Structure formats: structure tokens, C-alpha cells
């Protein structure tokens, strides 16, 4: 048993150890009970996604520096994929982030997907509320990578940054998933490499077939050389997300909560065993879980 009220007070007063303890308990399913007089959330939540290897963590390091220079604090929740067999995860994103361990203005926490569908746990909602309550002005969520289920990030973020590189192989998956249409800004990182300008133009051409007014901006950036980062941040901070995204956000939050309750069901292992032996059908299994 933990005294959540005591931990909350300590975390609110800047105790990072207690903040980390609370995040761990939330990750395990604890319900967050903020004081009734807690102020409404004022944090900005930036979701960052894109295929593996495009430099998401390096770019996050530049974003951290950008906010630090403005004397703004930033908390990063970096999500690592977990093994479907063991449940383990490497949790090593902070190693690749420049400025990840640089003072009181930065807090980085690695999280495991925990086998959650879409790679994002519904516990992120409570984690974001906790970080906001504790005074973190900017919150970054780094996802495991773009894919068919990556639109779940829209359930948690106010702004979405989609990152790709000169080799556009994986961006097709983003286009299939619809995340490219949900992004506020699309970044082609490693702009100093051949093919980057062509990749950016290809994405702009693809977006031109949709609603031009709500299409995301496409920008070339080199995180390694710190080129184009300030322009990118200006675009993020000044863009307005379309109204229709709020409905998608609510829908994805509901789906995320349902997924979490399904995985937390004490009957899940028994029902999986019955399915494995063929004693019940999938429809029967769903009916039992719903009850």
C-alpha cells in the first residue's frame, strides 16, 4: 500500500524520486486521485512518431534544448516495445537523447508498451495529468514507430509530429494508417543526405490529393546539424489542429481504455486457455469478457 496523497504532495514540490514512484504505480494500473482543487491542465503534449531509425530520439534532444533556452521545462515519456513473450523491454531511449540528463528543466522516463494494442497504454492519460499537475509545461510522448496502429497517439497528444528520413520506405505505412493526415507537421530528418528534398516533395504531392487547408506542413530538418529545428518548432507552436481531430481523440481514448480493461481482466488467461483447447468460440470468449 502507498500513501498517494503524501507522494503527490512531495512530487508537486519537486521531488523527482516520488514523481517516478507515482509514474511506476500508474503504469501498473493505479488510479490517479488529484486534489479536488487541482488547477486545470495547462501543459502542451507533443506526440512524436515515425519509423525506427529516422532520428526521433536525436531530434527530441534538440527540442529539449529549444525549450531549455526559453527557460521552459520539458518531460519526456519515451515508449519502448516490449517482448510479447517475456514482457521485457530495453528502455534505452534516453541514451540517444542529447540533453536528456541536463538539469532541473528536463525529466525523461522510459516506458514499456506492456503488450498494449497500438503500443500505447491508457495509463498515459493519468501520467500526463500527473506531470501537468507537478508543473511540467511541455510533455513529449515518443512512440515506438509508425505503423498500421499508430493513430492511437492522437488519443493523448495536443500536437503530432511525424518524422521520416530520405528513404521513404516506411512512410507508406504511415499513409496507410492515416497518421500522416493526423500529423500537424511532417518532418524529413537528415536533410543533409541525398533524397531528402525528393522525399519531402513526394509527401507534399501525396497530401495535395486531400483537403489542402487541413494538410500538415512538411519541413526539412537535420537534427544532427541542428538545422531547421527552430523553424520546425515555430510551426508546431503556431499551428492549429483541426476540429475533427477531437472526435477521433475521444474515440481512440475509449478504445485504449477498453483494451486496458480487457488485458487486466482476471478471466483473460482462463478464457485464452479455453480458446486454445477449442471448448469455446471467439464470440463466446468476447461475451464472457464483456460480462
205 and 260, same domain (yes or no): no
pLDDT, one tens digit per residue, over 121-159 is: 668 889 999 999 999 999 999 987 655 446 778 888 889
98 and 193, same domain (yes or no): yes
Whether 257 is in a domain gets the answer yes
Lowest mean pLDDT among 2-16, 17-31, 168-182, 246-260: 168-182
230 and 250, same domain (yes or no): no
Whether 11 is in a domain gets the answer no
- pLDDT above 60 for 239: yes
- pLDDT above 60 for 192: yes
Whether 35 is in a domain gets the answer no
Q: Say how many domains are in the chain.
A: 2
Q: 47 has which bridge partners?
A: 141, 160
Which pLDDT does position 148 carry in this prediction?
44
Minimal CA–CA distance to 60: which of 229, 236, 239, 240? 229
Dihedral angle sign, alpha carbons of residues 50, 51, 56, 57? positive
66 and 77, same domain (yes or no): yes
pTM for the model stands at: 0.81
- Rounded to whole angstroms, the Cα distance separating 41 from 134 reads 10
DSSP letters, 79-129, are EE---TTT------GGGG-TTTT-STTEEEEEEE-TT-GGG--THHHHHHH
Whether 90 is in a domain gets the answer yes
CB 184 within 8 A of CB 239: yes
Whether 22 is in a domain gets the answer no
150 and 278, same domain (yes or no): no
Lowest mean pLDDT among 5-14, 77-86, 131-140, 160-169: 77-86
- pLDDT above 90 for 177: no
Whether 20 is in a domain gets the answer no
162 and 237, same domain (yes or no): yes
Q: What is the CATH number of the domain that holds 173?
A: 3.40.50.300
128 and 176, same domain (yes or no): yes
Whether 97 is in a domain gets the answer yes
Mean per-residue pLDDT, 64-91 = 74
Residue 3 CA: distances (Å) to CA of 6, 22, 34, 250: 6, 10, 13, 31
- pLDDT above 50 for 257: yes
Mean per-residue pLDDT, 203-226 = 81
Lowest mean pLDDT among 13-17, 77-81, 90-94, 208-212: 90-94
- pLDDT above 80 for 79: yes
Lowest mean pLDDT among 113-117, 169-173, 205-209, 232-236: 169-173
164 and 119, same domain (yes or no): yes
158 and 227, same domain (yes or no): yes
Domain that holds residue 199: 40-242
Whether 258 is in a domain gets the answer yes
Other CB atoms within a 10 A radius of the CB of residue 62 amount to 24
Which pLDDT does position 119 carry in this prediction?
52
223 and 258, same domain (yes or no): no
Which pLDDT does position 172 carry in this prediction?
55
Which pLDDT does position 215 carry in this prediction?
79
Give the alpha-carbon dihedral of 244, 126, 29, 19, to 10 degrees.
150
Lowest mean pLDDT among 50-59, 126-135, 180-189, 249-258: 249-258
Q: Which helix (H) or strand (E) holds 160?
A: strand 159-164
Q: Which residues make Cβ contacts (< 8 Å) with residue 256, sequence separation at least 6?
A: 116, 118, 120, 121, 122, 125, 152, 155
217 and 248, same domain (yes or no): no
206 and 247, same domain (yes or no): no
pLDDT, one tens digit per residue, over 80-97 is: 754 434 444 344 555 455
Which pLDDT does position 146 carry in this prediction?
52
Amino acid at each position: 500500500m502507498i500513501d498517494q496523497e503524501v507522494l503527490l504532495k512531495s512530487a508537486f514540490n519537486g521531488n523527482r524520486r516520488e514523481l517516478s514512484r507515482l509514474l511506476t504505480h500508474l503504469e501498473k494500473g493505479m488510479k490517479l486521485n488529484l486534489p479536488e482543487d487541482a488547477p486545470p491542465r495547462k501543459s502542451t503534449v507533443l506526440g512524436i512518431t515515425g519509423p525506427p531509425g529516422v532520428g526521433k530520439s536525436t531530434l527530441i534532444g534538440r527540442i529539449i534544448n529549444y525549450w531549455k533556452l526559453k527557460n521552459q521545462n520539458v518531460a519526456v515519456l519515451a515508449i519502448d516495445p516490449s517482448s510479447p513473450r517475456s514482457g521485457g523491454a530495453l528502455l534505452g531511449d534516453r541514451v540517444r537523447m542529447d540533453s536528456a540528463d541536463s538539469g532541473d528543466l528536463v525529466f525523461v522516463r522510459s516506458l514499456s508498451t506492456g503488450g498494449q494494442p497500438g503500443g500505447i497504454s491508457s495509463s498515459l492519460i493519468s501520467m500526463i495529468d500527473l506531470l501537468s499537475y507537478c508543473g511540467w509545461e511541455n510533455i513529449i510522448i515518443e512512440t515506438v514507430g509508425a505503423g498500421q496502429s499508430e493513430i492511437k497517439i492522437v488519443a493523448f497528444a495536443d500536437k503530432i509530429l511525424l518524422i521520416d528520413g530520405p528513404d521513404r520506405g516506411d512512410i507508406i505505412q504511415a499513409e496507410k494508417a492515416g497518421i500522416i493526415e493526423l500529423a500537424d507537421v511532417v518532418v524529413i530528418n537528415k536533410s543533409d543526405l541525398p533524397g531528402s528534398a525528393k522525399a519531402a516533395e513526394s509527401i507534399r504531392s501525396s497530401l495535395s490529393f486531400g483537403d489542402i487547408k487541413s494538410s500538415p506542413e512538411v519541413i526539412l530538418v537535420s537534427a544532427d546539424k541542428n538545422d531547421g529545428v527552430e523553424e520546425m518548432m515555430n510551426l508546431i507552436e503556431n499551428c492549429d489542429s483541426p476540429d475533427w481531430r477531437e472526435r477521433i481523440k475521444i474515440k481512440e481514448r475509449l478504445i485504449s481504455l477498453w483494451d486496458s480493461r480487457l488485458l487486466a481482466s482476471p478471466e483473460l488467461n482462463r478464457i485464452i486457455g479455453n480458446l486454445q483447447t477449442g471448448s469455446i468460440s471467439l464470440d463466446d470468449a468476447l461475451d464472457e469478457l464483456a460480462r
